[in-house]
């Protein structure tokens, strides 16, 4: 039987044809699989399915809490397209703005999130009254700097500028076009849209001190506030560093017309008659003193205090006084998660509570925890320069081991300003635990009493505490003053702090209060005297 003869047989020919077709179909199927169906070879970011999440906690009906590093939720950051654990604080703000029927008032130190800017512009275009107050230091879009100005940037500013380029240069040609600026640079965006906004020079001053608020009011019914500025680094993470997930921040949404009206009052004092017109805006010490105001929000208590106060005001009527009074109520536990801790008087109070059997834990951003002025030093039994300066000179007699710093991802910081007392009461807001916040800046301080609200802070605290480093660094020990007399001598040799120029003092103050902690190594000894 030869081959020719085989092919001549119609049955065999048909079988061969069928076999070839089957082979061809199989080949096509494999081709389709490889071209279209195969999962991507490089899994660059975790997907929602691969992220480990824990059960979300119940929310209080009128006071919702969000944490941008929460492990009970995940989202995809719309700018870096990174899927990560956390609550999307920007989206919470956008959704609230989109729900507005009458008004949107935003007072935020630094405003750089385009999604929020777009939502505000859209609302304004629909006829809703939209107003914005920012800190004058940030009243310039990065795309608005001239090459000369960029060349004069400090290292830190250069870093921020690089992040902006990574964020805004959408077609990666090394240049920020007008179109790109209007997509990613909020200040040109709001100028182009002619959105009503002012900064803290609207009172006719040069804007000394910080307009440090971080709140949004919608329809004078809902207040959204917390520790986060409206920036990539405080909310999602740096554009130039995909590994970052944003500084650890907390955020609350309070649905209460009474609370919202009180925030609107604060906003209106700063706003005056708005852009142009009279210089009737009032910021910082020009605002009237208002003692803490207590509100009943459902079954929760909320105390609101706006900083700053003049130094002539009785300490216990100031924001720091409210913190002190609240710390004094502690019966079981005090947990601190603070960006800055430079208030030795709180150190004394907490030590007294500790001596009464209250459990004390403190986590401070590592860029500030080991500074000479930090109250963490006091808790470690070391003298701090701030302690000396206030004539306190009282480091803890029995130093504790539960004081340290949170090991944030490189590039991220602990930016909270919260305390949790007896797992029932939360102190939070924009107000850093410093004299500077109390006397120089526009700040929000909140005290919230409710277990459902407190549970969110407790969970966040345990997360932070599980990934922390405790005790002072050797450098901090070496550098801490051995006696306050040493500091007085050193100060005389250098010349008193008061002789520094106002400009320099303001710069140092800003360094202390912004989300810009230089590394411990960079700490400038002369900064210590100015740390308040």
Give me the residues that bind Ca ion (CB under 5 A), please. Answer: 136, 169, 171, 173, 175, 200, 207
Q: What is the 3-state secondary structure (H, E, C) of 413-475?
A: CECCEEEEECCCEEEEECCCEEHHHHHCCEEEEEEEECHHHHHHHHHHHHHHHCCEEECCCHH
Cα separation, 164 vs 345, whole angstroms:
40
Q: How far is the CB of 436 from Ca ion (least distance, A)?
A: 12
Cα separation, 526 vs 531, whole angstroms:
9
Which residue's CB is nearer to Ca ion, number 207 or number 292? 207
Among residues 200, 306, 226, 220, the alpha carbon closest in space to that of 264 is found at: 220
Q: How far is the CB of 229 from Ca ion (least distance, A)?
A: 14
Q: How far is the CB of 518 from Ca ion (least distance, A)?
A: 20
Element (H, E) at 391: none
Centre a 10 Å sphere on the Cβ of residue 14 and count the other Cβ atoms it contains.
Answer: 10
Place of tokens 């990539």: 232
Cα separation, 531 vs 437, whole angstroms:
11
| Residue 342 CB partners (closer than 8 Å, separation 6+) | 368, 371, 373, 374, 375, 384, 386, 433, 434, 435, 436, 512, 531, 532
The answer to whether the Cα torsion of 225, 229, 232, 234 is positive or negative is negative
Which residue's CB is nearer to Ca ion, number 136 or number 225? 136
Which residue's CB is nearer to Ca ion, number 136 or number 247? 136
Which residue's CB is nearer to Ca ion, number 119 or number 189? 189
Among residues 273, 344, 345, 258, the alpha carbon closest in space to that of 303 is found at: 258
| Residue 529 CB partners (closer than 8 Å, separation 6+) | 385, 389, 491, 497
Which residue's CB is nearer to Ca ion, number 146 or number 171? 171
Which residue's CB is nearer to Ca ion, number 30 or number 175? 175
Please give the residue whose beta carbon sits closest to Ca ion in the complex: 207
Q: How far is the CB of 441 from Ca ion (least distance, A)?
A: 9
DSSP string, 59-98: --SSEEEEETT-SS-EEEETTTTEEEES--HHHHHHHHHH
Q: How far is the CB of 87 from Ca ion (least distance, A)?
A: 29
Which residue's CB is nearer to Ca ion, number 23 or number 170? 170
Q: How far is the CB of 180 from Ca ion (least distance, A)?
A: 5
Q: How far is the CB of 236 from Ca ion (least distance, A)?
A: 21
Which residue's CB is nearer to Ca ion, number 501 or number 519? 501
Q: How far is the CB of 339 from Ca ion (least distance, A)?
A: 18
Q: How far is the CB of 284 from Ca ion (least distance, A)?
A: 9
Cα separation, 523 vs 143, whole angstroms:
30
Which residue's CB is nearer to Ca ion, number 207 or number 411? 207
- DSSP letter at 514 equals S
Which residue's CB is nearer to Ca ion, number 200 or number 238? 200
Q: How far is the CB of 442 from Ca ion (least distance, A)?
A: 9
């Amino acid at each position: 039987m030869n081959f020719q003869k085989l092919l001549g047989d119609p049955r065999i020919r048909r079988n061969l044809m069928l076999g070839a077709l089957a082979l061809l179909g199989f080949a096509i199927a494999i081709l389709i699989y490889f071209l279209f169906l195969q999962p991507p070879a490089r899994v660059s970011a975790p997907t929602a399915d691969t992220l480990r999440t824990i059960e979300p906690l119940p929310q209080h009906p009128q006071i919702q809490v969000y944490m941008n590093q929460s492990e009970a939720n995940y989202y995809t950051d719309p700018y870096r397209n990174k899927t990560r654990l956390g609550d999307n604080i920007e989206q919470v703000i956008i959704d609230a703005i989109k729900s507005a029927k009458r008004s949107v008032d935003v007072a935020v130190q630094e405003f750089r999130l385009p999604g929020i800017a777009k939502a505000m512009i859209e609302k304004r275009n629909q006829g809703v009254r939209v107003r914005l107050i920012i800190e004058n230091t940030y009243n310039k879009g990065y795309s608005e700097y001239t090459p000369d100005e960029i060349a004069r940037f400090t290292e830190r500013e250069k870093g921020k500028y690089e992040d902006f380029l990574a964020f805004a240069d959408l077609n990666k040609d090394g240049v920020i076009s007008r179109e790109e600026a209007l997509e990613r640079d909020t200040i040109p965006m709001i100028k182009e849209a002619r959105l009503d906004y002012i900064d803290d020079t609207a009172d006719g001053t040069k804007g000394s001190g910080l307009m440090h608020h971080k709140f949004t009011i919608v329809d004078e019914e809902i207040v959204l506030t917390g520790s986060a500025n409206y920036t990539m680094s405080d909310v999602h993470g740096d554009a130039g560093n995909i590994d970052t997930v944003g500084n650890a921040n907390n955020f609350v949404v309070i649905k209460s017309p009474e609370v919202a009206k009180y925030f609107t009052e604060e906003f209106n004092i700063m706003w005056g008659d708005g852009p142009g017109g009279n210089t009737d805006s009032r910021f910082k010490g020009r605002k009237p003193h208002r003692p803490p105001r207590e509100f009943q929000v459902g079954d929760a208590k909320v105390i609101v205090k706006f900083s700053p106060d003049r130094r002539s005001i009785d300490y216990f009527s100031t924001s720091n006084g409210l913190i002190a009074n609240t710390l004094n109520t502690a019966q079981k536990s005090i947990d601190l998660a603070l960006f800055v801790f430079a208030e030795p008087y709180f150190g004394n109070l907490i030590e007294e509570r500790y001596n009464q059997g209250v459990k004390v834990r403190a986590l401070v951003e590592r860029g500030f925890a080991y500074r000479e002025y930090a109250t963490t030093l006091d808790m470690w039994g070391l003298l701090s320069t701030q302690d000396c300066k206030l004539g306190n000179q009282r480091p803890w007699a029995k130093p504790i081991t539960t004081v340290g710093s949170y090991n944030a991802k490189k590039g991220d910081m602990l930016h909270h300003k919260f305390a949790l007392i007896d797992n029932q009461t939360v102190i939070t807001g924009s107000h850093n635990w410093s004299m500077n916040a109390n006397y120089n800046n526009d700040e929000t301080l909140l005290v919230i009493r409710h277990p459902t609200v407190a549970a969110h802070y407790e969970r966040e605290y345990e997360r932070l505490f599980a990934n922390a480093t405790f005790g002072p660094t050797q450098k901090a020990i070496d550098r801490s003053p051995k006696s306050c007399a040493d500091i007085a001598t050193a100060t005389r040799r250098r010349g008193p702090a008061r002789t520094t120029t106002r400009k320099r003092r303001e710069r140092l103050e800003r360094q202390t209060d912004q989300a810009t902690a230089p590394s411990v190594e960079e700490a400038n000894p002369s900064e210590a005297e100015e740390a308040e």
